[in-house]
Amino acid sequence: MIRPSAHKSLAFGVVMLLAARMTVLGMTATDKEEYERRGLSQVEWEMVLDAKMPKKKVDELLKAGISISEYFRYPWLKFGISEQQWINSRKAGLLDSDIAAENKPRGPAEGAVVISAFLLPGYHQCKREQYWKTGIMTGAAVLGATLLAVRSVQERALIPGPLALLVPAMLWSSLDIGLQLNRQRNPDAERFSEGSFSPDAMCVSLRVSSK
């Protein structure tokens, strides 16, 4: 059986340990009131004290809906933006998923892709693993360019006949990539575009007309 004096000694020891911890962290009774008033946990307030974060900054984060633990994960680093840009985005009501979408790495400009697809038929289709298109476009372009060069050298003049193979391959390649980029940018465009063919729409029209 534990004596009452032992209970008192144990309780005193716990209090002293907590007091020592608060002293090391520089925490006071006022600090306790501060973090409780802000709805923070003691652990979060310890993070604030350890970082020597001004109370004004704490209030700014909380007002923006940013938790202290979230802030100290430094999410702006993975988005490649500044801390203040991230805070401003959160103030504007954006979620981290929205910020990630806004700041994802940008590829080359669409115009440049379409032009390069015209000059290199089948190249971008190959990158997208559309191999049957690659084979037709590249084959026609290579054959047309080869015939154009050989015939022109033989005749010592430009022979336009092989352009009938080369030019359509170049046009097809650039138009095809342009359409694919447009669908990626606006996936609903084709579904809601006026006059576009839709099997579902056709079925509906057939059902209506049969009534």
CB-based contacts of 80, cutoff 8 Å, min separation 6? 103
* 211 belongs to a structural domain: no
Both 28 and 57 in one domain: the answer is yes
Q: Are residues 98 and 138 in the same domain?
A: no
Tell me if 207 is assigned to some domain: no
Domain residues for the domain of 177 are 110-188
Cβ atoms of 114 and 178 within 8 Å: the answer is: yes
Same domain? For 126 and 87 the reply is no
Out of 96-100, 153-157, 207-211, give the one with best mean pLDDT.
153-157
Q: What is the pLDDT of residue 204?
A: 35
Residue 51, domain member (yes or no): yes
Output 97 or 190, whichever has higher pLDDT: 97
Count how many domains the chain has.
2
Banded pLDDT at 28 (limits 50, 70, 90)? confident
One domain for residues 133 and 80: no
> Sorting pLDDT into bands at 50, 70 and 90, what band is 79?
confident
Domain final residue pick, 67, 84, 102: 102
Confidence (pLDDT) at 103: 77
Q: Are residues 70 and 146 in the same domain?
A: no
Residue 24 lies in a domain: yes
Is the residue at 64 inside a domain? yes
Residue 155 has pLDDT above 70, yes or no: yes
> 66 with 116, same domain?
no
pLDDT given for residue 138 in this prediction = 95
Task: Please check whether residue 72 is in contact with residue 47, taking contact to mean a CB–CB distance below 8 angstroms.
Answer: yes
Which amino acid is located at 135 in the chain?
G
Residue 38: name the closest of 72, 70, 61, 71 by CA.
61
Is residue 105 scored above 90 in pLDDT?
no
DSSP state of 121: T
Same domain as 158, residue 78:
no
Report yes or no on 45 lying in a domain: yes
Provide φ and ψ at 10, rounded to 5°.
-65, -45
With pLDDT > 70 as the criterion, what percentage of the chain qualifies? Answer: 72
Q: Say whether pLDDT at 201 is over 50.
A: no
In 3D space, the residue among 24, 19, 13, 49 whose CA is nearest the CA of residue 34 turns out to be 49
